[in-house]
Amino acid sequence: MPRLEERCWSCSCSTGVKSKELSSASWIASKTGEMMSIITSVLRQAYVSLYHVQSANLIRRGLVLFAVGVFLALVLYLLQIQRNVVLFPEEVLDTLFSSAWWIPPCCGTAAAVVGLLYPCLDSHLGEPHKFKREWASVMRCIAVFVGINHASAKLDFANNMQLSLTLAALSLGLWWTFDRSRSGFGLGLTTALLATLIMQLLVYNDIYQYTSPEFRYIRSWLPCIFFSGGVTVGNIGRQLAMQFHRV
């Protein structure tokens, strides 16, 4: 920081000498000094806030959750594509990354938001989540979530109703097994509704298209997947909140 300031000083001084206006040069220099001090104070504040334990923890947790979200989104997207394309030519991966590159970041952001929201909501409601607070349970939860996706992608159901009911039962089972909190249920439900709504809006506005021609099929499993995803990410977020603060 001091080095940068020096350079600015010398720079403004040189311009001042060039223009041969000593007074204005000093004015410029003083102004620059003020600006620099303002900038340094702003930077310092940012640094302070970054240094502060809580916000640093928050950022780290957010980053981890973002990574988890991106990763899960990629994996699940691949799973869903498999349902529609039987065998991959090598180009599918390219098209995957070219056509819908924005999906994984979106999912990552959503995961970060939901995962940070869960512990926050817990602490605001004053009922800390204590049910099965351990990493093994979280891993189990993720595995079940991927399994639900796998089932929805790989299995052939007789009709959409059956698919929806099965997935709904599985999602509720996931919540009951790993969460069992009212806030978790509510937040998961909200996530599911919001995400489905956003997806519908995207589809209606032709921003995004389903690969499957049958639209109703997708509509039948999307909310369940989003619900269980919300619960899963919330589980991760809570565990992270506990883990990161256990200095």
Partner 1 sequence: SPLNSLNCGVSLDAPWWSHPISARKPNGCQLTPPPRMTVRERLRQNISAAFYRHGLLCASYPVPIILFTSASILTCCYPLLKLPLPGTGPVEFTTGVRDYSVPSHGTQGDLGERPDWYRGPPVAYIQQVLVKAAVSPWDSSLVPVDVFRSPLGRVFSLLEEIRDHVYTDRSLESLCLQVTDLLPGLRRMQSLLPEHGCLLVSPGNYWQNRRDMFDSDPDILKTVHQHEPKGLHTSATLKDLLFGVPGKSTGVSLYSKKRVVTYTITIALSSYDARFVASLRARLKQLHPSTNCSLREDHMVHVHFKEEIGIAELIPLVTTYIILFAYIYFSTRKIDMVKSKWGLALAAVVTVLSSLLMSVGLCSLFGLTPTLNGGEIFPYLVVVIGLENVLVLTKSVVSTPVDLEVKLRIAQGLSSESWSIMKNMATELVIILIGYFTLVPAIQEFCLFAVVGLVSDFFLQMFFFTTVLSIDIRRMELADLNRRLPAEAGMPPPKPGPLRPREAPPPSRPSPHTITLQAPAFRNLRLPKRLRVVYFLARTRLAQRIIMVGTVIWIGILVYTDPAGLRTYLAAQVSEQSPLGEAGLPPHLGVAPVFPGGDPTSTLNVLPAPEPTPLPENQSQGHGEARSGPAPLTSPQITWGSEDEEVWRRLSFRYWPSLFSYYNITLAKRYISILPVIPVTLHLSPQEAIETRHPQDTQHAPRTSAKTTELQADLTLYKVAALGLFAGVLLVLLLFCLYRVLCPRNYGQNGVQHGRRRRGDLPCDEYGYSPPVSEISPLLLRGHSMDIECLANDGMLLASCCLAGQIRVWDAQTGDCLTVIPNNGLRRSSSSGCWEHRDGWDPSSPAYDADSLLGPEARNASTPIMDNEHPLRRRTTPVRPALFGDQPDLTPLIDTNFGEVPPSQMMPGCGFDFGELVERAYKEHEASPPLPFPPSPPAARQRRRSLGDQSVAPPEQVLLAPWDWDSSVWSMELRGNLIAAGRSSGKLELWDAVEGSLRCCNEDGSSGITALAFLNNRIVAARLNGSLDFFTVDIHKPLGLLQYRGPPGRASLPPSPCYSSEDVISCQLTRSVQCAHQKPITVLRAAAGRVVTGSQDHTVRVYRLEDSCCLFTLQGHAGGITAIYIDQTMVLASGGQDGAICLWDVLTGSRVSHVYGHRGDVTSLVCTTSCVLSSGLDDLICIWDRSTGIKLYSIQQEVGCGASLGVISESLLVTGGQGCVSFWDLNYGDLLQTVYLGQSGEGQPVRQLLVLDNAAIVCDFGSELSLVYVPSVLEKLD
Rounded CA separation 33/12 (Å):
10
Under rule CB under 8 A, residue 15 binds partner 1: no
Could you say whether residue 11 binds partner 1 (CB under 8 A)?
no
As given in the structure block, the two tokens for residue 114 are: 């939901």
Q: Does 219 bind partner 1 (CB under 8 A)?
A: no
- The CA distance from 155 to 146, in Å, is 14
Give the binding-site size for partner 1 (rule: CB under 8 A): 60
**4/201 with CB nearer partner 1:** 4
CA distances from 69 to 7, 20, 45, 64, 95 (A): 43, 59, 30, 9, 21
Which segment (28-36, 45-53, 188-196, 199-207) binds partner 1 by CB under 8 A?
45-53
The values of phi and psi at residue 157, to 5°, are: -100, 160
Is the distance from CB of 178 to CB of 137 less than 8 angstroms? yes
Nearer to partner 1, 27 or 176 (CB): 176
Give the residues lining the site for partner 1 (CB under 8 A): 1, 44, 47-48, 51-53, 60, 64, 71, 74-76, 78-79, 81-82, 86-89, 91-93, 95, 119, 123, 128, 130, 133-136, 138-140, 142-144, 146-147, 150-151, 154-158, 162, 165-166, 169, 173, 241-247
